[in-house]
């Protein structure tokens, strides 16, 4: 899970859930704070993609288990879906 709003500002927290408890992940690359971003896993490319946020321009991706090791890369796709 990523981001959110704490009542005073947007957050850039990244969390994992193992089925029992939540763990805060310290990222090597600080991601842009965002509200309402979406995250999905693509089993074919083995990539996790973070998209959206309050302005729809945040796109980050990680390959394999990068979400657990905090190795994110900002993507620059040719086309960005509209929110």
Q: pLDDT, tens digit, for every residue of 31-69?
A: 777 777 778 877 887 777 777 666 555 666 665 555 555
| Nearest Cα residue to 63 out of 82, 81, 45 | 45
Residue 59 in domain: yes
Is there a domain that residue 80 lies in? no
Indicate whether 82 belongs to any domain: no
Number of structural domains the chain divides into:
1
Range of the domain at 30: 2-74
What is the reported pTM?
Answer: 0.63
Tell me if 2 sits within 8 A of 13, measured CB to CB.
Answer: yes
Whether residue 79 lies inside any domain: the answer is: no
Residue 81 lies in a domain: no
Per-residue pLDDT band for 21 (boundaries 50, 70, 90) equals: very high
Q: 83 lies in a domain? A: no
What pLDDT sits at residue 45?
Answer: 76
């Amino acid at each position: 899970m990523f981001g959110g709003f704490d009542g005073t500002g947007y957050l850039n927290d990244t969390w994992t859930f193992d089925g029992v408890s939540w763990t805060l992940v310290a990222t090597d690359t600080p991601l842009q704070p965002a509200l309402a971003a979406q995250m999905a896993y693509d089993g074919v490319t083995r990539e996790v993609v973070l998209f959206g946020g309050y302005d729809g321009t945040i796109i980050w991706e990680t390959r394999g288990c990068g979400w657990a090791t905090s190795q994110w890369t900002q993507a620059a796709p040719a086309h960005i879906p509209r929110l």
